[in-house]
Amino acid sequence: MIRALYSAASGMTAQQMNVDNIAHNLANANTTGFKSRRAQFQDLLYQNVVQPGAAAGQQSVVPTGLQLGLGTRPSSNEIIFSQGNFAQTDNPLDLVIQGSGFFQVRRPSGELA
């Protein structure tokens, strides 16, 4: 019973993080240069209750076994590098990149960054 509650609680925490991430994306949707993020999750360990191939009776075996998942956890927060909308500005120092990629700048040491 307690294992089921911990598993459910980890799922609710993960869903809350997902909703918070979506709210952050919506709140900053009109910010110039903002890149949205997507939360990624992964399973926690599985507990083997019945091993595969264990005897189910005198003449049969359990072919696949029984595993219980112990919940989920956040694994990463991926940045979505999709093309945004272009906006005309009067600032001569504003730049726009069309297509995939980034631009390079030369540091005072002469090194590209």
Query: pLDDT, tens digit, for every residue of 18-44?
Result: 999 999 999 998 887 788 999 998 888
Three-state DSSP state, 20: helix
pLDDT at 1: 65
Beta bridge partners of 43: 72
Does the reported pTM lie above 0.75? no
Give CA–CA dist 13/3, Å, rounded.
15
pLDDT tens track for 60-105: 777 777 777 788 888 888 988 887 778 888 888 888 888 777 788 8
